[in-house]
Amino acid sequence: MINVTVNGQNYEIENGTLALDFAKQVMGDEYKKAISCDINGNNLSLPTELHDGDVVKFNTWDDADGRWTLRHTAAHILAQAVKHLYPEVKFAIGPAIDNGFYYDFDRDEPFTQEDLDKIEKEMKKIVKKGIRLERFELPRAEALEFMKDEPYKVELINDLPEDAVISFYKQDDFTDLCAGPHLPSTSAVKAIKLTSVTGAYWRGDSDRKMLQRIYGTAFTSKEDLEAYLTALEEAKKRDHRKLGKELGLFMMTEEGPGFPFFLPKGMDLKNTLLEYWRGVHRRYGYVEVQTPQILNRDLWLRSGHWDHYKENMYTTVIDEMDYAIKPMNCPGGMLVYKNQPRSYRDLPLRMAELGTVHRHELSGALHGLFRVRVFTQDDAHIFMTWDQMKDEIMKCVQIFDEIYTTFGLTYKIEVSTMPEDHIGEEATWRGAEEILKDAITAMGKGYTVNEGDGAFYGPKLDFKLSDSLGRTWQCGTIQLDMQLPERFELEYTGADGEKHRPVMIHRALLGSIERFIGVITEHFAGAFPTWLAPVQVKLLPITDRTHEYAQQIYDKLFAMGYRVENDTRSEKIGYKIREAQLEKVPYMLVLGDKEAEAGQVAVRARKTGETTVMAFEEFLAMLEDEVKSRAL
């Protein structure tokens, strides 16, 4: 007999028991929901033998490892279906990914939509058969012989360490080189959909062969799949690249891949966002600074970026000296701090910067405003004593709360801990990580831990936003830094008259302003709240007779700082209304002879689609209240 633990409870079971069979004992009728098992921290297939002392957790669809396992199996089902239909194809890799899976194939003929339909049909047959997946291992020489007709698999085997366990998964007539884990049977993949096919270089290397990558997704129920596909369609409608073009917000050009151009309405949106940002920061006690775009190599060596980040930096030579266009604002902030003597009375010192940074991103990674090569980072550097750190972290979280609530965004907090490529002592890192966790806990908030994903100079909090479609975005971050103050020899004079080293926080709320604009464009589907909308009011005079009245209203609204347009074109009023609706303008004021005579406006609200006649002053009061309160 052996002893294993599940959820803190000890079980005595027969030696040689498989996790699959043990699930029946532990989960009862719910055992069919088990997809994989976590044994001593490793996600493994259910037909894995348990050993004495094992700590076990059974993963279902509700667990990330469970979803990953099911979708990994779906990738193998895809490959088996392709083998049945197109036996000449060579196979590369097929992992699970967020929300789905893919498999890369080497085939002379391009896969068409008709091919995808055939493959999907064949996949469903494989699922219906309930084929068992069986794991086995081979020595390196036998593995190479076994895969001799699959050049991509041979390359992968040759790249494995000499002592690596070379494992395979067999499902009927298809066997794949794979570490797993997988479902015991194909039958649990209840709902499958192939979504697209694209090109992908082998191993992401543009010098290697272009393969064909088939994407798909899989769920445990058809209802969940349908809900996901519906959300995908909604996401396509909300694509910020599409809306950005339709609403005249920004543009991209071949002359500057990854370098967005903001158009007049996009600048109205961006400037409104930045005005709000500045107002919030004033209330929270920040001062604003601006640091140069280009600084010399010595600075970046001192900060550590030249050694740790150079591949992402644009460099140049000035007067025979190496310079870099800043990828981050932090080193410039260090120089601002050092510009004058500092006392403990000056701390905490909260310095904010809307700094334009440049980072080299691979062309294949560029994506609208979400992944660009130049962006404005809403940075802040907070210099403090160690004793002040917890309070300052809590104040940072408070400002996050306020700003995200304004946009109707919810969030979860992730604590990222010390990476392998770090600078500084481990003990200092662990102490800083505990301060982060304590601050979050003290505010009554929860967090998850992302091991090893901190910045090279300190641990951090990442804020994962959820939008109106439930999608997750990484925007804000709070990063502790114990290293740059040391590297730049920052000091303050303490109450004891001695010199001390401050500690600092790097903090970005919106992250990249450009990326955040992309996020809220999709979050609001381009229908921005009135306070943020590029055009808040559009005047629609019905005839030439009301142009003068429309101009009077325009002048009043413009003088009060509202963003207003006056459509005096000789078009029918129905056409003007439809255009304004497509432009997602919050309020249209339809102005006819009756409204002009009575000093009224016919207000057509975007939100309700209804038209209400009221005095202009009444509309003005309503507009003012909505904008001042930043109502959603």
Contact (Cβ atoms closer than 8 angstroms) between residue 305 and residue 328: yes
Rounded Cα gap, residues 135 and 144, in angstroms: 17
- The catalytic residue among 37, 178, 330, 475 is 330
Report d(CA 191, CA 225) in Å as an integer. Answer: 6
Task: Clarify whether 84 is annotated catalytic.
Answer: no
Catalytic residue among 359, 371, 515, 584: 359
Question: Which listed residue (80, 377, 483, 600) is catalytic?
Answer: 377
Six token digits for residue 551? 């101009």
Token readout for 535 is 């055009």
Q: Is 630 a catalytic residue?
A: no
Active-site residue, 308 included: no
Cβ contact 227:469 at 8 Å: no
- Measured on CA atoms in the order 403, 407, 408, 414, is the torsion positive or negative? negative
Catalytic residue among 326, 460, 515, 538: 460
CA–CA separation, 117 and 485 (whole Å): 59
Q: What angle do CA 556, 561, 565 make, to 5 degrees?
A: 65
Catalytic residue list contains 379: yes
**Residue 377 designated active-site:** yes
Query: Catalytic residue among 38, 54, 176, 379, which?
Result: 379
- Identify the DSSP state of 133: P
Q: Which two tokens stand for residue 505?
A: 């926080």
Cβ contact 104:92 at 8 Å: yes
Write down the residue that tokens 């609530």 correspond to.
405
Residue 475 falls in the annotated catalytic set: no
Catalytic residue among 342, 381, 515, 584: 381
Buried b (16+ CB within 10 A) or exposed e, 102-141: bbbbbeeeebeeebbebbbebbeebbeeebebebeebeee
Within 8 A by CB and 6+ apart from 387, the residues are none
**Residues with Cβ < 8 Å from 171, sequence gap 6 or more?**
76, 77, 80, 126, 131, 132, 133, 134, 186
Distances (CA, A) of 91 to 133, 153, 175, 505: 18, 7, 11, 47
Q: How far apart are CA 528 and CA 524, in angstroms?
A: 6
Q: Active-site residue among 506, 507, 584, 604?
A: 506
**Catalytic site positions:** 330, 359, 377, 379, 381, 460, 506
